[in-house]
Amino acid sequence: MHLRREHAVHDLPTLHTFIRAHPLGVLTTSLPSATFPTLQCSHIPWVLDTDTTGPDSTSENESGLNEPSSSSTATTHNPSSCPLGVLRGHIARANPQAAAMIEAVTDTPSASVKGQYDSLGSADQVQDQDQDKGRDSGYYLPGEVLIIFTSPVDHYITPHFYTAAKAAAAAAAATTGGSGASGGTGKARIAPTWNYAAVQVYGRMRVYHDSSAEETGLFLQRQLSDLAKLGEEGVMGFTEDEPNTDGEGQGNSTGSGGGTTPWKLDDAPEKYIAILKKNIVGMQVDITRVEGRFKVSQERPVGDRDGVVDGLEGRGGGVARRMAEFVRDGRVV
């Protein structure tokens, strides 16, 4: 990612908050194979485990969105052992990208996995970290994976919004009589651009593909439960203290979105969940690098930013108004 100084975001809690606000990330893998394409990507919703606190972490913790499940915590890494955080997700076993990942981990002997982490320190340190994090299974992909999270709010920025720059160029041309920076034309040195926000995450992925292994079942049980909790409470806003409208504990079947308690994994038949888990592959990513670019006209002078805000608000529409808010506030989370 090109990180221009004005747009670069390095604050870890802010980056974590952005990921939680936009949990659907594009997973990209590069796995040489004679069977599958080397480069593959899939849209995956992720659960983020961290020990950091951020702008919205208090409310998230109170709602339980960042609290570990009571089950199977031993099967996944403690976030404190991965200071940048841990992402958990799952992918359909029928997805060709999942097949390529399974091929990669089953073709990689356990003894060779340790070589992937030489950059972390000495051989003894790597061995200690492997033991601490349960890396004796050999189910780690070689190299890094990339996950890209983006804001659904992005917008084209026309040079017509830069009213201050255009006025300054016109005034300079009139004052200098054609000898100024604009060459006497009164044309401002401005160009179109696009405002957006994105976070890129790099990490080492452990693949839970063996459906007969107990740790795979425990991981997927926790993952499905936590993802449902994130969606039901974090996205839909359902709470435990709201009454059900159907009286069966299964949520509101009317689709109104009101007066509904969160749907839980236990609300589905146990046999159905068992079949579901056999048809998905679990993924756990220890984050090694994370970087963000929030591009909301910070590089422009105040007068031009005001022009962008006025121009976007004048366009109308939800996306334009949201981008106007981002430019006015200078932040996206």
pLDDT tens for residues 124-138? 443 344 444 434 444
Residue 262 shares a structural domain with residue 219:
yes
3-class SS of residue 71: coil
Q: Is the pLDDT of residue 256 over 50?
A: no
Q: Count the Cβ atoms, other than its own, within 10 Å of residue 113.
A: 22
Distance (Å, rounded) from C-alpha 211 to C-alpha 221?
Answer: 12
Residue 98 and residue 72 in one domain: yes
186 and 61: one domain? no
CATH code assigned at 209: 2.30.110.10
Is the same domain home to 201 and 319?
A: no
3-state DSSP assignment of residue 75: helix
Whether residue 248 sits in one domain with residue 147 = yes
Express as a percent the part of the chain with pLDDT over 70.
73
Tell whether the model's pLDDT for residue 251 goes beyond 60.
Answer: no
**Choice among 3-7, 74-78, 302-306 with the minimum mean pLDDT:** 74-78
Residue 136 lies in a domain: yes
Q: Is residue 1 part of a domain?
A: no
Task: Say if CB 16 and CB 48 are below 8 A apart.
Answer: yes
Helix (H) or strand (E) holding 228: helix 214-229
Residues 206, 137 within the same domain = yes
- 165-220 pLDDT, tens per residue? 888 888 877 776 555 554 556 688 889 999 999 999 999 999 999 999 999 999 99
Q: Which domain holds residue 208?
A: 8-152+197-294
Tell me: do 281 and 325 sit in the same domain: no
Looking at the structure, do residues 177 and 138 belong to the same domain, yes or no? no
Q: Is 314 helix (H, G, I), strand (E, B) or coil?
A: helix
Long-range contacts made by residues 305-311, C-beta under 8 angstroms, separation at least 24?
Answer: 306/163, 306/164, 307/161, 307/162, 307/163, 307/164, 308/157, 308/161, 308/162, 310/161, 310/163, 311/158, 311/160, 311/161
pLDDT at residue 24 tops 80:
yes
Q: Is residue 41 part of a domain?
A: yes
Pick 62 or 3 by higher pLDDT. 3
Taking the complete model, does pTM exceed 0.85, yes or no? no
Reported as a single tens digit per residue, the pLDDT across 272-282 is 999 999 999 99
Mean pLDDT of the residues in the chain: 81
Query: Is there a single domain that holds both residue 164 and residue 124?
Result: no
Q: At what angle do helices 318-329 and 302-315 cross, to 10 degrees?
A: 160
For the segment 37-61, the average pLDDT, to the nearest whole number, is 75
Residues 43, 80 contacting (CB under 8 angstroms): no
Q: How many domains does the chain fold into?
A: 2
**What number of residues does the chain have?**
333
Higher pLDDT, 165 or 238: 238
Evaluate if residue 77 carries a pLDDT over 70: no
Of 267, 264, 270, 269, residue with least CA distance to 239: 264
Tens-digit pLDDT profile for residues 88-131: 999 999 999 999 999 999 974 433 333 443 443 433 443 344 44
- Residue 303 scores a pLDDT above 60: yes
Residue 145: inside a domain, yes or no?
yes
